[in-house]
Amino acid sequence: MIRFVAILFVALVMASAPTHAQAPTREQAMRAAIHPISTDAEMRQWLARVPVTRDWPPDFAETMKGQPPAFIVEMSTAPGCIPCADLWARLGTLGQRYGWKVRTIGSQEAMLRSGRLGLPWVGHPVAWVRPVADSNRIIPVAIGTDHEPNLARNLYLAAKMLTGVKPAVGVRGMAKFTGIVAAATRLSSNRARN
C-alpha cells in the first residue's frame, strides 16, 4: 500500500508539472548571454549591469607579477569593433601593471580556437591566455569586453589553471563572461565570378 501511495504521489507531481516548460534552446541561451553592441553608449549600458570582482585571493599580486614571462594574452579583433578597442585598452593597462604580454590574433585563428573549445563564434573580441612555449594549451579569459577587475581575476585563474590548479575551480571562477561583443561578420558564400 505504501509503495502504491508513493507511485501515485510521483505520478500526481509529474502530471501537475507544466507541459510547456522546456530547457532553453542553444539559440535562446546565446541571445541571453551574448550582447551584440554597435555604439559606446550600448557598451556602457551593458557593462553597467555586470558585477565587478571585489574579493582577491592572498596570492593574487604575487601570481600576477610572477607569471608574465611564462604566459601571453592573445585576443581577436576586427576593424571598427568597439568592444575590441575597450578590451585592448583594459588588457593593455593590466599588461603594463603586471608585465603580461598582450597581442592580437587573426579572425581565422580565433574561430579555430573557439571551435576547438566548443565556444560559439559570435563575434569579437575573444581573449585567451596560453603559455608562451605552448600554443596548444589555451584558456579563454574573455568573451567580449569586461570590467578591468574581472579581467584581472580571469588572468589570475588562467595562470593558476595552467600551473596545476584543478580546472573545475578556475572554470567556476570564470563562468560569468560578459558576452559584450561586436556582431560577427558573416562570410559570404558567394564567390566573386571572373
C-alpha cell at 68: 608574465
Domain annotation covers residue 187: no
**Domain with 74 in it: what CATH number?**
3.40.30.10
Beta strand segments in 24-171, E? 35-36, 71-76, 101-105, 123-124, 126-131, 139-143
Percent of the chain with pLDDT over 90: 28
The sign of the CA dihedral 167, 156, 139, 131 is negative
Half-sphere exposure of 23 (CA within 13 A, CB side): 2
Rounded (to 5) percent helix, strand, coil in the chain: 45, 15, 40
Domain annotation covers residue 192: no
Count of domains for the chain: 1
At 37 the pLDDT is 82
pLDDT 10s digits, 85-118: 999 999 999 999 999 999 999 888 888 888 887 7
List the one residue out of 127, 152, 125 whose CA is nearest residue 138: 127
C-alpha cell at 158: 588562467
C-alpha cell at 130: 596560453
Domain annotation covers residue 24: no
Q: What are phi and psi of 191, to 5 degrees?
A: -95, 150
Residue type at 146 in one-letter notation: D
Domain annotation covers residue 151: yes
Q: Would you say residue 10 has pLDDT above 50?
A: no
Query: How far are the Cα atoms of 57, 73, 127 from residue 174, in angstroms, in the given order?
Result: 14, 16, 13
Q: Would you say residue 153 has pLDDT above 60?
A: yes
Instruction: Work out the end-to-end distance of the chain between its first and last CA atoms, rounded to an integer number of angstroms.
Output: 81
The single residue listed with the C-alpha cell 604575487 is 62
d(CA 104, CA 85): 11
Higher pLDDT: 2 or 64? It is 64
List the one residue out of 29, 26, 48, 25 whose CA is nearest residue 37: 48
At 108 the pLDDT is 85
Domain annotation covers residue 189: no
d(CA 67, CA 160): 10
What's the pLDDT band for 78 if we cut at 50, 70, 90?
A: confident
CA-based R_g, the chain, Å: 21
Domain annotation covers residue 190: no
Domain annotation covers residue 109: yes
Q: To the nearest whole number, what is the mean pLDDT of the chain?
A: 76
At 163 the pLDDT is 87
Structural domain for 144, as ranges: 34-176
Domain annotation covers residue 114: yes
